[in-house]
Structure 1
Amino acid sequence: MSLKERLDEWQQKTEAKVIKRPERKQSFANHSDIPISRLYTSKDSPLSDENYLAKLGFPGEYPYTRGIQPTMYRGRFWTMRQYAGFGSAEETNARFCYLLEQGQTGLSTAFDLPTQIGYDADHPMSRGEVGKVGVSISSILDMETLLCEIPLDKVSTSMTINAPASVLLAMYLVVAEKQGVPWNQVSGTIQNDILKEYVARGTYIFPPKPSMRLITDIFDFCSREVPNWNTISISGYHIREAGSTAVQELAFTLSNAIAYVEAAIKAGLQVDDFAPRLSFFFNAHNDFFEEIAKFRAARRMWARIMKERFKAKNPKSMQLRFHTQTAGSTLTAQQPDNNVVRVTVQAMAAVLGGTQSLHTNSRDEALALPTESSARLALRTQQILAHESGLTDTIDPLGGSYYVEALTDAVEARAWEYINYIEELGGAVEAIEEGYMQQEIHRAAYDTQQAIERGQQIVVGVNQFTTADEEEPDLLRVDPELGKKQAASLAKLRRERSIEPHQTALQRLRETAVGGGNLMPAIIDAVRAYATIGEICDVLRDEFGEYRPSVF
């Protein structure tokens, strides 16, 4: 009897006995509205030898569906890179040192809003925001304090910074110089993904064209001077946090990535000179299997994009390397201990999906920046998964699952539909300028909120299983006087620095911005001359203008 005949028999004899009983829901679909069958068999994901090699292959080989390393976590674990940053550089340095002592294996830096949009701590626009959602960095002195006693030739650092990414990278490199660390021994990542800022996050400064110039200048500079630095982290995370589905997150991220590669090639770079240092940043959300399928589909799609569209020859250009963060938007202020469970499920999806590094959110982040004890528990979650769960003992353990393979195919197919439509619009930049991505995300976010409010989507502790009285946990509080302290520090810097080198460096930066040429050397010289982030960005604001979004 064939599988199809046996399946028909099962449906008629066994399933039919109970099929008329009501199920939990009228219909089953994931958040991307992909229907979920009651049962999956090999007919849903037929994998002949030929199909297997074309769709899955082997770890470390094209199309990288099963992982980019031949041994994956049997070789070494993912980088445990807890995101941290608050208050002053001294406070964040203390948190960094604490997390490294607790077994964290890489740094990940959160900057406050003034830093993210290129304002000094004493700027009027910075009032009330200094140090609130990340560390305040205005000058090379702050960066030196942030990285005090952290060996930059041994510790990899990720920096979540976009519009002024070139300035923060310049500060990092100058600190490495002062430590005596050659730039070719420095490793880390800058997010440097401005397109998703226009789509989902809002910490932009300059219009798209000069912003893309800054990004490709970093690609070019680092390919020659800082070869171990990841020059961009193309981010779906914030697209998902803004309310997108998993399919939209994947499609819009890869569309943005295509735009960056095209811009770099247009600027005269060879694809295999910069593509190996491209990296990605994805969200790990609540739907366990959909997230795993998303990560597997992402690797396969990127490999094909780079090989077939951009004719990359270097295998590293085709490997989608990604960092994952668990979903901040799923954390609840109600019953915050529930967030530990949510984060664990999301982290497991990231690991089973083959992430290269991971941040696990803390239980109290829906209420405030995490306390030290909450950050430690979040790190311990990763360590337990790595050392106690058995998840890491074999490669891609869900590979071959009828459900996971069918879902991987479905996620990929729907993501290609979005990407192809964006190409019809002229590419990611044009789609953003027309408001297409924004509108799609807003529609998905609205649908999710409606489903929660109607009770169709259960959020434990929020719309079901609630409690009347909840005890508020201890929260981290940022010093309300920090803005004044940072302003005083900046005033001292401006009094004591040498005027001529400072003015000469800013003038050279202005001339480079107007006349063309790579901006990174001029920005580095300005940092060496103790120019602040606000002063450097103001020069670029003068020459490039500021972005003002259209209303869609």
Structure 2
Amino acid sequence: MSSEPLPIATQFPPPPVEEWRRLVDKDLKGKPFTVLQSPLEGGLSLQPLYTPQDAPAPSEPPGVAPYVRGTHPLGHTEGGWVVCQEYAGPDVARTTEALHNDLERGSQGVWLVLDAPHGVDVKDAATLERLLANVPLDRTPVHFEPTTDLLTPASLFLAFAQKRSVPKQALHGSLGIDPVAALARTGAEKVDVAATLAKAAPLVTSLLTEAPGLRALLVSSRPWADAGATPVHELAWAIATGVEYLREMERAGVAPGDTARSLQFALSVGGQFFPEIARLRAARLLWSKVVAASGGPPESQAMVLHARTASATKTQRDPWVNILRATAESFAAVMAGADSVSTSPYDEPLGTPDEQGRRLARNTQLILRDESSLNRVADPAGGSYYLEQLTGEIARAAWAELQRIEALGGITKALVQGDVARVLAETRAAREKAVRTRKLPIVGVSEFPHLNEAPVQREAHAVAPAKGEGVIAPPRPFRMAEAFESLRDASDRYHAAHGSRPRAFMANLGTVAEHTARSTWIANVLAVGGIEADEHRGFADADSAADLFAKAGTSLAVISGPDALYPDQVPPLVAALKAKGATTVAVAGRPGEHEAAFRAAGVDLFLYAGADLFQLLKTLHTQLGVA
């Protein structure tokens, strides 16, 4: 065997991009090149190919401003990121037990969402002492995210640490003072951002010297991420909040660099794997630029970033798929270099997570770290033409939105004037349209639903909506699957009342080979709405089909088969079905030029890819008597 090296790289030089483009245009046969681009929310799009000309290799190593590649020179290779689980259950005793169990079994940090109805109701020092009784404060980062009472948790925690004889120098975490998030979440006029920050200024100054590991301020994007903001808007508004805090704290006598060193960011990570990696990298870039422009030194420009898996992407139906969603989102957060990560339990949308849900969530990160060794490479995304280019595009788009917000007077004024609510309404409507038309599919809900799945029983705690007293209406948190899940809920109620689910008679035309692909697709579509498909494998004629329909015990019939058979067979079949009592007849597929003739024959609606599936299924529910 020859030991001579094979000079493959020199024998096969890469072809120029122009040659590749010429071949692609030839294969497209007149279609525009844009059909190969994948649109993203926020006006961005993914290209089919990225080259060194799109994004040259990054010049700065990890740990160097502007910190695109991470804030630590060796990444997370020295111990890994912090597995920091979040807790928001209203039951203090249950939350205390869950917190203790998680810390004993691999969790390293604690993130407490406070204040009813949004989180743990810590009313006084005794409640906090009970909650943190089993937490070793000297080696466990503790983070607070109060939603209404912003300053009290800080004083309670510092007093508790003193009572436990834990020196301030040993404390790590954040106290969560975030008045902009409180304003966005509650809409209450009594949330005075400037006044709150002015009161927090002495605490910020004292902690810098007495407890440098404890950050007083927080920028949480949770109110916007949960209410339907696009990733670009979520990032831009988070940076705008940081700008507001730098500005207001400087008015209170705190230098921008000191404010930046007292601040932590918490962003949600959604389901688009590579764009989310790029967005978190862009977040560090933007924040570094903001602090530098404010006069902060390089060491204060490093963003401390907590990443949480998004709530909007999770489902109540087929919740086991949430394990996969949370795994991908956690993976993206780690690849992007987040300092701490919280993985939501798969059963969180069903109520307070139980031990199994928390264990799977906790172990997701432990597997990513200890078995997949994701902590052993600093900035694994660095140098990818695709991700470097996408990082820059997202950063530019978010910077443009930041400039727009600043032109309005800042994020607080944008909130109070209703600008943020307007944008949220627009982006949420666009996302809901994408979900309803299945351009944004949801596995287990709008795609591949398990109609007869056994429900996962969890103890649910009702959460009353916050009632804002101010000039803005708080954004309502929502999950993308809610609309379709409401149809399944209605089907369950129908099943409980009648002993069976709403049904559709499937009038399949042609041979099994001819109609199977389309009839299988239709059965899946009907199951999205909780409607069972009563399938039949072809008929001798229209009358025999109608006779079988009469025995099916339903008023809905769906005709499915190859397009070539529709012009001749649909009109007589519709007439026969309606003569036997069908009140609704649907046809699978786009009608095209035959729509007028089919409707004249009695067809009520058409089911096809790209239609507003939710509205069609809702119409079928109404006609089937499903409340």
From the superposition, tell whether residues 223 and 390 of structure 1 become closer, same or farther in structure 2 (CA, over 3 Å). closer
Given candidates 279, 287, 309, the residue that maps to 2:272 is 287
SS of 1:184's equivalent in the other structure is helix
1:492-531 residue CA offsets vs partner (Å, 9 max, x unmatched): xxxxxxxxxxxxxxxxxxxxxxxxxxxxxxxxxxxxxxxx
Equivalences for 1:4-19 in 2 at 5 Å? 6-13=16-23, 16-17=26-27
TM-score, length-scaled by structure 2: 0.69
**Aligned residue-pair number:** 459
**1:86 and 2:89 matched:** yes
Q: Distance in 2 between matches of 1:84 and 1:551?
A: 26
Equivalences for 1:211-222 in 2 at 5 Å? 211-222=196-207
SS of 2:111's equivalent in the other structure is strand
SS of 1:73's equivalent in the other structure is coil
Equivalences for 1:105-184 in 2 at 5 Å? 105-113=108-116, 134-184=119-169
Mapped contact 2:69–2:382 kept (Cα < 8 A): yes
From the superposition, tell whether residues 427 and 386 of structure 1 become closer, same or farther in structure 2 (CA, over 3 Å). same
**1:273 and 2:235 matched:** no
Larger radius of gyration: 2
From the superposition, tell whether residues 61 and 19 of structure 1 become closer, same or farther in structure 2 (CA, over 3 Å). farther
**1:406 and 2:389 matched:** yes
Mapped contact 2:147–2:181 kept (Cα < 8 A): no
Mapped contact 1:163–1:211 kept (Cα < 8 A): no
Q: Distance in 1 between matches of 2:189 and 2:136?
A: 31
Mapped contact 2:147–2:185 kept (Cα < 8 A): no
Please say which of residues 207-216 and 102-111 is displaced more in the overlay. Answer: 207-216
1:49-82 residue CA offsets vs partner (Å, 9 max, x unmatched): xxx33xxx11111111101001111112111011
**1:43 and 2:53 matched:** yes
From the superposition, tell whether residues 73 and 454 of structure 1 become closer, same or farther in structure 2 (CA, over 3 Å). same
Mapped contact 1:201–1:238 kept (Cα < 8 A): no
Higher strand proportion, which one?
2
TM-score, length-scaled by structure 1: 0.78
Mapped contact 2:115–2:147 kept (Cα < 8 A): no
Aligned equivalent of 1:325: 308
Aligned-partner residue type, residue 383 of structure 1: L
Aligned equivalent of 1:449: 432
From the superposition, tell whether residues 302 and 209 of structure 1 become closer, same or farther in structure 2 (CA, over 3 Å). closer
Q: Distance in 1 between matches of 2:325 and 2:423?
A: 26
Aligned-partner residue type, residue 428 of structure 1: I
Mapped contact 1:271–1:312 kept (Cα < 8 A): yes
Q: Distance in 2 between matches of 1:23 and 1:13?
A: 12
Aligned equivalent of 1:425: 408
Mapped contact 1:352–1:391 kept (Cα < 8 A): yes
Given candidates 63, 68, 72, the residue that maps to 2:71 is 68
Mapped contact 1:83–1:110 kept (Cα < 8 A): yes
1:9-53 residue CA offsets vs partner (Å, 9 max, x unmatched): 223236633667999978621222311111111222244xxxx33
Aligned-partner residue type, residue 43 of structure 1: Q
Mapped contact 2:36–2:48 kept (Cα < 8 A): no
What is the RMSD of the two structures over their aligned residues, measured on CA atoms?
2.7
1:274 Cα deviation (Å)?
3.3
Q: Distance in 1 between matches of 2:90 and 2:295?
A: 46
SS of 1:366's equivalent in the other structure is helix
Equivalences for 1:17-28 in 2 at 5 Å? 17=27, 28=38
1:306 Cα deviation (Å)?
0.9
From the superposition, tell whether residues 470 and 210 of structure 1 become closer, same or farther in structure 2 (CA, over 3 Å). same
Aligned equivalent of 2:296: 312
Aligned equivalent of 1:32: 42
Aligned-partner residue type, residue 81 of structure 2: W
SS of 2:348's equivalent in the other structure is coil
Structure 1 unaligned segments of length 5 or more: list them.
115-132, 481-545
Q: Distance in 2 between matches of 1:475 and 1:24?
A: 46
Mapped contact 2:187–2:472 kept (Cα < 8 A): no
Q: Distance in 1 between matches of 2:27 and 2:257?
A: 59
From the superposition, tell whether residues 329 and 267 of structure 1 become closer, same or farther in structure 2 (CA, over 3 Å). same
1:396 Cα deviation (Å)?
1.2
SS of 1:363's equivalent in the other structure is coil
Q: Distance in 2 between matches of 1:35 and 1:109?
A: 36
Equivalences for 1:365-444 in 2 at 5 Å? 365-444=348-427
Aligned equivalent of 2:483: none
SS of 1:154's equivalent in the other structure is coil
Q: Distance in 2 between matches of 1:204 and 1:333?
A: 34
SS of 2:134's equivalent in the other structure is coil
Higher helix proportion, which one?
1
Q: Distance in 2 between matches of 1:367 and 1:23?
A: 44
From the superposition, tell whether residues 351 and 426 of structure 1 become closer, same or farther in structure 2 (CA, over 3 Å). same
